Amino acid sequence: MSAVMRHWDDGVDLRTFSEKCMDGFIGLSDAGFSADECEILAYHPGVENNPFQRMLYSRAMQFGMAPIAVKQLSELEDVPSGIKLSVHFHWIHQVFSKINTEIEAHDAADKFLKNVESLKDRGIRIVWTIHNVISHGSQYEAIELNLRMRFAELADIIHVMNPRTAALCAPYYMLDSQKILEVPHPSYANVYGSYLSKAQARLELGLPPKQPVFLLFGSLMPQKGTRQFLQGMDELQKYFGGEAIALVAGKARLGSFYEEVLKLSSPRIDVKLMAGHVDDQHIQMLFKAADVVVCPYIKGLNSGVVMTAASFGRPVVAPSFIKPTLREVTDAITEFDPADFISSYEACAAAYEKSQNSNLELELLTWAEANAAHAVSDKFFGELKARS
Amino acid sequence: MTELPGYRALRKRDFRASRIGAFGSVKRQKVLLPRKGLSRSFFIGSADNWFLDLEIVAGGREAIRNAVSIEWSFTNSFGKPLEIGDQEYTDYLFADPVGFSSPQRVWVKRPRDAVFAVAKISRLIKGVDVGMSAKLKLQKSLLGSGEAKERLSRDRATLGKLLVQATEEKRYCDAGDILARMVYLWRMPEDRRLLEACIDARKLIEQDFRLPVPKQSYKAGQCTWEYTQSLSGNLSADGLLSRWLLSEVLLLIANLKQQKIKTVVVKGNGLLLGRTLALTLAQRACNEAFEITREADIPLLEVEQVSQFISLEEVYSYL
């Protein structure tokens, strides 16, 4: 098969990284920043299908920082010499994305760390956002943990969103408390449309108006607990007299895991499976239709789904390690013990009861507004600037 | 049953004949193209300027872009495959509506040492029959048809040649038109970048290099500063000159103001003309508050062009 052609009208950004830096500098100058106040915040890897980075960086330009995604670290050689540069890393496990053996994984980690060291030698500040203790479905756990340990030593600033991050990482690698910058995950207020009523959302999805609906949202992956949750659906039904409905929505990769989810959900009419990419316009429909959002994760550190649920005023069932990420609203998260999965169903029943209190929805929406992208971004860049 | 009457499916013996360079060498063939492709061998010897003319058709009322690809591979006289870049040696052809097709010329870009070539002709689109009508015999170039006609061609090599001619002869308006046609025909990012660079450069000339740089108050001291390299990094041949200039001017002003520079000495070779232009613009924004000197032995205008779409005379008249 021939090489796939890229077309200019496919939305391809025609600019090189260096040109984007010039645009960033020009934009900041135009906003009134002097040249020595201007800074390029190159971030890596840039993720298109998740609004997180745009949300976090939504106020960057107001602080004299131009956020620009960088695909290859080698592109950083081309940054205009007259402009200050920081590099913000996110999911560093991507260094293993095209790796097939442990030896290759070792080499890739070493090469990456050497590149980062040379950036530091050039006086470039390194910022790291820790999204997970270890990546979901890590194939080279020991190598990745070692990479994280060494990278934590190199980073100048470590951004955490869960206040318990250092403690949760401690069994595997240490984070220097002096480097830690704690700024929470933003809510998704004003990110997705939110104009449907619960009744209309249920009508559109073919869900009955009165039955309890539990939404499991996000990519279908083994470590997200969907399979375990579906296996125990009968346990959930004990609390609801068989009336509960699990709405499972998210992108699925074909393979044995998805086959298992299919096998579990096919015979059940109380499971509605919507496997596939969820368009941004449909997100409100799913969350508005739900009474409770369930995050039955076995591992993790932060959760965009928890923040999305809160942004639509929906309470969440989540493992205990997620609880601190939304501590301001007492009843927002009903926790369960991931080591005792059965406790998640009891948590669902408790969360459902809380969801019937309309004050909770109001409280969550107020929280979401106060923690919207611009507010969190203000905090992030305020702190980042203060430490430069 | 095909929707393209007169076009037949390829048979096993066609593929065999193709491998030994015989298929379609005598008689024009009208065949349906398979997705997996038809690999046709050619002897090219040591000569350049070979081409093939092919007509490609499909059902429907509009021409379909990138309906067919031709991927070239080459071997030397010992039959050893030569390493070449995929993109550079792949041609993409349109499929025209039946009754409205015209020959599309495909040039053989012979790499050094290549003696044999294999063209893998594949249908890229699904669900639609695509037919090819061609005599698969390489022909030698017969140049000399009028430029007006050539400019309506869908042959990338011809348009590329016209573009080079237009820029060499400083017919920048023509260069823009040719590039616009190339962008329309192939939608390639690199063509679009060039077109943007062309329009941007011409706009700069029309506007007398006016950039949105506010007038600056500037108090010079006594220092001299050597301007040896660009502060904004390199200006690529297809990058926007206005972007680079604006960035460079802003960085220059900031740097010079901070150090209260009285005299700037232009040194070094890289982007000499571009840097001199940026410095002149910075000087004007600062009400000539600093002086520019250039090492006398550097022949400014011979070092490099600022952009391929601006003539040296145009820049020089501004300096």
Flag if B192 and A5 touch (Cβ within 8 Å). no
The predicted-structure confidence for B133-159, as pLDDT tens digits, reads as follows 999 999 886 655 556 667 778 888 889
Q: What is the rounded average pLDDT of the residues A161-169?
A: 96
Q: How far B41 CA sits from the closest chain A CA (Å)?
A: 18
Answer whether residue A3 is part of any domain: no
Residue A78 has pLDDT above 90, yes or no: no
Q: Which domain holds residue B273?
A: 223-318
A278 and A239 inside one domain: yes
| Domains contained in chain B, number | 3
Q: A314-318, B59-63, B226-230, B278-282: which range is least confident on average?
A: B59-63
Give me the DSSP letters along B25-52: SSS-EEEEPPTT-EEEEEE-TT---EEE
Whether the Cβ atoms of residue B311 and residue B198 lie closer than 8 Å to each other:
no
Residue B180 lies in a domain: yes
Tell me: pLDDT of A112 over 60: yes
Residue A243 domain-assigned? yes
Flag if A19 and B240 touch (Cβ within 8 Å): yes
- CA–CA distance, A323 with A297 (Å, rounded to integer): 12
Q: Which residue of B lies nearest to A38 if distances are taken between CA atoms?
A: B251
Q: Which of A34-38, A272-276, A284-288, B309-313 has the lowest mean pLDDT?
A: B309-313
**Last residue of a domain, which of B112, B140, B168?**
B140
pLDDT tops 60 at residue A2: no
Residue at B7 is within a domain: no
- Are the Cβ atoms of B233 and A80 closer than 8 angstroms? yes
Residue whose token pair is 């550079």: B88
Residues of A in contact with B212 (CB under 8 A): 30
Q: Which residue of B has its CA nearest to A79?
A: B233
Is it the case that residue B302 has pLDDT exceeding 70? Answer: no
Domain co-membership, A223 together with A168: no
Domain count, chain A: 2
A342: domain CATH number? 3.40.50.2000
Are A112 and A247 in the same domain?
no
Q: Which of B140, B155, B189 is the last residue of a domain?
A: B140
ipTM over cut 0.85: no
Q: What percent of chain A has pLDDT over 90?
A: 83
Mean pLDDT of B3-9: 90
- Best A19, A20, A37 residue to mutate vs chain B (most B CBs within 10 Å): A19
* Within a domain: A1: no
Residue B33 lies in a domain: yes
Residues B163 and B134 in one domain: no
Is B93 inside a domain boundary?
yes
Lowest mean pLDDT among A14-18, A178-182, B267-271, B302-306: B302-306
Residue A381 falls inside a structural domain = yes
How confident is the model over A59-79, as a mean pLDDT? 94
Residue B304 in any domain: the answer is yes
Torsion angle of C-alpha atoms B314, B316, B317, B319, degrees rounded to 10:
130
Q: Single out the residue in B87, B111, B140 at which a domain terminates.
A: B140
List the structure tokens of A177.
């408390």
Q: Are residues B233 and B202 in the same domain?
A: no
Specify if A191 maps to a domain: no
Beta-carbon separation of B251 and A34 below 8 A = no
Q: Which of A160-169, B50-59, B81-90, B292-301 is modeled with the greatest confidence?
A: A160-169
Question: CA–CA separation, A310 vs A333, rounded Å?
Answer: 9
CB contact under 8 A, B188 and A25: no
A174 shares a domain with A227: no
What whole-number distance in Å separates Cα of residue A100 and Cα of residue A139?
9
The 3-class SS string of A38-58 reads: CEEEEEECCCCCCCHHHHHCC
Confidence band (pLDDT; 50, 70, 90) for A1?
A: very low
Distance CA A40, CA B247 (A): 13
My answer on whether A216 and A75 are in the same domain is no
A94 and A203 both lie in a single domain: no
User: So what's the pLDDT on residue A379?
Assistant: 98
- B135: CATH: 2.60.120
What is the per-residue pLDDT for A133? 94
Domain with A130, as residue range(s), is 8-186+372-386
Residue B214 lies in a domain: no
Give me the mean pLDDT over the A337-351 stretch: 95
Determine the pLDDT at residue B155: 85
Tell me whether residue B62 is in a domain.
yes
